[in-house]
Structure 1
Amino acid sequence: MLSTLPLSGKQLRSIARAQARINIWHGAVRSGKTVASLLAFLLAVAEAPPSGLIIVCGRSLQTIERNVLEPLTDAALFGPVAAQIRHTRGATTATVLGRTVHLIGAADARAEGRLRGLTAALAYVDEATLLPEPFWVQLLARLSVPGARLLATTNPDSPAHWLKVGYLDRAAELDLRSWHFKLADNPSLSPAYVASLSAEYVGLWRRRMIDGAWVVAEGSIYDMFEEQLHVVDELPTMSRYWVGIDYGTTNPLSAILLGLGDDGLLYACAEWRYDSRARRRQMTDAQYSAALQGWLGGLGVEPEWTFLDPSAASMMAQLWEDGHPGVTRAKNEVLDGIRSVATAFGAGLLRVHRSCTGLLGELPDYVWDAAAAAAGEDRPLKRGDHSVDALRYAVHSTAHEWRHLLPRPGVTTDAAA
């Protein structure tokens, strides 16, 4: 056996039956689909005809190294076979079972040009939903050697995604086989780990990443938010503070003070917000900076870091000039940031003080863009999102500071109740 891990019946069947032109493993995170697909890939390399290239594709060279090559070279996963995988970090080729394998990153549609002129016998695609459709189409066209195969893995996305609509839903018309995995399909995971991972996903992400469902982003983004649970009238003693700022000139500027309480919970402690349209007067960056310093001074707080909308270059320069504490660019990966906030709310880790009226007004009305969802894209509706963006900047940019506070399996706390 090529792997030292216990394999489920579904994994073994998928490996044995991955003989179609297109073979796709899709489903939940850590569900065993990657190990099964990599084992199938090793067998396919061993059987591949000498003519035609062998290609591994992913979002970038770095993701290929992390998601494909590092597991393949792990003796704990693949035993003695791991010694037959050779790669120098940063190189665009690797050696797998004595065959040269070409590594191609596909960050955007322009990457399709890297495939032109190639003749391939075998391709492995990591996280197929993250690749541009033109790249995928061109890759299939390059697989022209008799018996050529494509093997791909992916987590689910929108049900309108091109991979779902154009390929998985048309499996009966195409030379395509697919296997759907749920988290429970991985026999190598302990029940405690499964429970812990399940606790980290809520809402849309739980349905996709744990249940492995191709579901649309619809309705309220923070549907786990409940006023009775998440809104507080009193605050505990805080041990740490951070600020998130969403910058606006004609739109409102919103600042959220995020605190870590001595009780181990996160709190949106206070909010400063200025709406130039409502006030009928715009403020300059210097006036904003002075007002923010006055607000924090009145609270008697000096935050460790101030996370600012990365596009607000002029405001950032003003805050630096005025000596505002710890000014830095916020992490602005929108979907990852929303997931961080949703995780904190869902675990009962994040609370909002009742004085944050702008934030409390926006949270229930922060919804997915239905038109974008119909086109296969997850995107919030750009409406009334200034305070929720400020909260996202603070919570997501400090995720490494608070993830260890998430409730552990089997432990009941007031926060998780």
Structure 2
Amino acid sequence: MALNDVLTKKQAQAFKSYLTDDWRTLILSGAVRAGKTYIDNLIFTDELRRVRNLARKKGDNHPQYILAGYSSNTIYDNVIASLERQLGIELKPDRHGHYHLFGVDIVPAYTGTARGMNAIRGMTSYGAYVNEASLAANDAFKEIVNRCSEEGSRIIADTNPDIPTHWLKKDYIDNKDPKAKIKAFNFTIDDNTFLDPAYVEALKASTPKGMFYDRAIKGLWVTGEGVVYKDFDKDRMTISPSQIPAGLRYYAGVDWGFEHLNSIGVFGEDDQGNIFLLEEHTGKGKFISHWVDVAKDIQHRYGQSIVFACDSARPDNSNEFLAAGINAVNANKAILPGVECVSKFMANGKFFVNREGVQEFFNEIYQYIWDEKTGLPVKEHDDVMDMMRYAIYTQHAGGGYVPWK
């Protein structure tokens, strides 16, 4: 079997570099579904064999290696489970949570929290595999680098792109100092020639334009440019009350405010996955009793069981909702995943606004822009936008609504 039967051209290029180049850190970055993790998993198994042989020459019977990822779930999904699917290698954790393969003790480290790095503090490692490296805190990545101090130790990493000023991009990928010994490869979706062309075409068509497309499809390290919701088409997506179908599933979002705008919105969703912003109630300088009355009226018209995904920044207000018999839950407030979720409905032509039901939506949608420095939306003209994100993303994020505590 030829190499090009199992690896794409870009994967083969990266694997050749792994085998023949003089490097200490190898980073594969780029688009989703581009084959980065697949080839890094293969390299990972080869690295474990190399580490075993290196340790034997030193008389070390217990070589250790770091397997790092954002969380235990991401390590399992992206590496452990993938190795079983790709190579038939089944890894089971021991009583310490470590894995073992080819005589190497593989120690998991979770880069999403400071506590997740405790397992490797004081450790001396022969190398590391860092999955989803851009999600790691800079200090966490530095700690991993510091632990890889055995002679001949090396670090491999894969990641999706982030902002161009991200520390991983500036300090590692763009580092051309030969003494640093860093090799970096960038992947686009089209580099994965094993994907079904129909799937790629559909993915490109359904990915929101702008930053999300540039990162997910082109594999570029970019910030947003201009308005956040580039796919919103007022002419096509604004409808009259008579165009709203019956039999929708209803849910609501709440962004608390007093000196700035407070916004409550009601959304309906049909069986085809179309979302309708049915009504929006926005104002400022109004006490919680006013918003309780608004929510009670919404309950009266849409059903007592309608769920309000609330901004967790004001638990006192949410508790007032609960005391009044209003079904308030903590909203899932993840910013970029939430924006992407809303954007996808717009990109797919499945988002509609009742022209007679909104107050501030059209004032904000065209002023809601990206911050080039942070890669996040600017914190202005965002009250209705946040409310919308809370409602839609909480409804569609994995696990559904988060119960109020």
TM bin (shorter chain): 0.7 to 0.9
* Preserved contact between residue 236 and residue 261 of structure 1 (Cα < 8 Å): no
1:37: how far off?
0.7
* Preserved contact between residue 272 and residue 295 of structure 1 (Cα < 8 Å): no
Deviations 1:44-88 (A, max 9, x none): 1111122452111111222212211111122xx214xx1xx4223
1:236 to 244, 256, 261: 244
Q: Which amino acid aligns with 1:118?
A: M
Aligned positions of 1:2-81 closer than 5 A: 6-18=6-18, 19=21, 20-48=23-51, 49-50=54-55, 51=60, 52-74=63-85, 77-79=86-88
Change (3 A) 1:333 1:296: same
1:209 to 213, 216, 233: 216
* Preserved contact between residue 68 and residue 130 of structure 2 (Cα < 8 Å): yes
1:181 to 183, 187, 196: 187
Aligned positions of 1:3-402 closer than 5 A: 6-18=6-18, 19=21, 20-48=23-51, 49-50=54-55, 51=60, 52-74=63-85, 77-79=86-88, 82=89, 85-88=90-93, 92-108=97-113, 115-173=120-178, 174-202=180-208, 203-234=210-241, 235-239=243-247, 240-261=249-270, 265-276=274-285, 282-283=286-287, 285-297=288-300, 299=301, 304-324=306-326, 326-355=327-356, 356-370=358-372, 373=373, 377-399=374-396
Q: Which amino acid aligns with 1:347?
A: N
Deviations 1:2-57 (A, max 9, x none): 99983112212212322510001111111011111110111111111224521111
Change (3 A) 1:379 1:89: farther
SS at match of 2:378: coil
Change (3 A) 1:345 1:225: same
Equivalent-residue separation in structure 1 for 2:369 and 2:205 (angstroms): 22
Equivalent-residue separation in structure 2 for 1:227 and 1:367 (angstroms): 17
* Preserved contact between residue 59 and residue 105 of structure 1 (Cα < 8 Å): yes
Change (3 A) 1:35 1:91: farther
Deviations 1:291-330 (A, max 9, x none): 3212553x56556322111233122222222222x43221
Residue 408 of structure 1 corresponds to which residue in structure 2?
none
1:364: how far off?
0.5
1:91: how far off?
5.0
Deviations 1:115-141 (A, max 9, x none): 443221121000111111122223223
* Preserved contact between residue 148 and residue 154 of structure 2 (Cα < 8 Å): yes
* Preserved contact between residue 9 and residue 191 of structure 2 (Cα < 8 Å): no
SS at match of 2:366: helix
Equivalent-residue separation in structure 1 for 2:268 and 2:274 (angstroms): 8
Change (3 A) 1:365 1:133: same
SS at match of 1:396: helix
1:177: how far off?
1.0
TM-score by length of structure 2 reads 0.87
Change (3 A) 1:300 1:166: closer
Q: Which amino acid aligns with 2:292?
A: S
Q: Which amino acid aligns with 1:209?
A: A
Q: Which amino acid aligns with 1:208?
A: R
* Preserved contact between residue 28 and residue 181 of structure 1 (Cα < 8 Å): yes
TM-score by length of structure 1 reads 0.85
Change (3 A) 1:300 1:112: closer
Equivalent-residue separation in structure 2 for 1:88 and 1:228 (angstroms): 56
Question: Which segments of 5 or more consecutive residues in structure 1 lack a partner in the other structure?
Answer: 277-281, 402-417
Residue identity (%): 27
Equivalent-residue separation in structure 1 for 2:393 and 2:194 (angstroms): 30
1:249: how far off?
2.5
Equivalent-residue separation in structure 2 for 1:301 and 1:360 (angstroms): 27
* Preserved contact between residue 61 and residue 90 of structure 1 (Cα < 8 Å): no
Equivalent-residue separation in structure 2 for 1:395 and 1:90 (angstroms): 41
Equivalent-residue separation in structure 2 for 1:196 and 1:71 (angstroms): 24
Equivalent-residue separation in structure 2 for 1:178 and 1:166 (angstroms): 12
Question: Which segments of 5 or more consecutive residues in structure 2 lack a partner in the other structure?
Answer: 399-405
1:167: how far off?
1.1
1:172: how far off?
4.5
1:92: how far off?
2.8
Equivalent-residue separation in structure 1 for 2:36 and 2:307 (angstroms): 40
Change (3 A) 1:256 1:225: same
* Preserved contact between residue 243 and residue 305 of structure 1 (Cα < 8 Å): yes
Equivalent-residue separation in structure 2 for 1:125 and 1:221 (angstroms): 31
Q: For the aligned residues, what is the CA RMSD?
A: 2.5
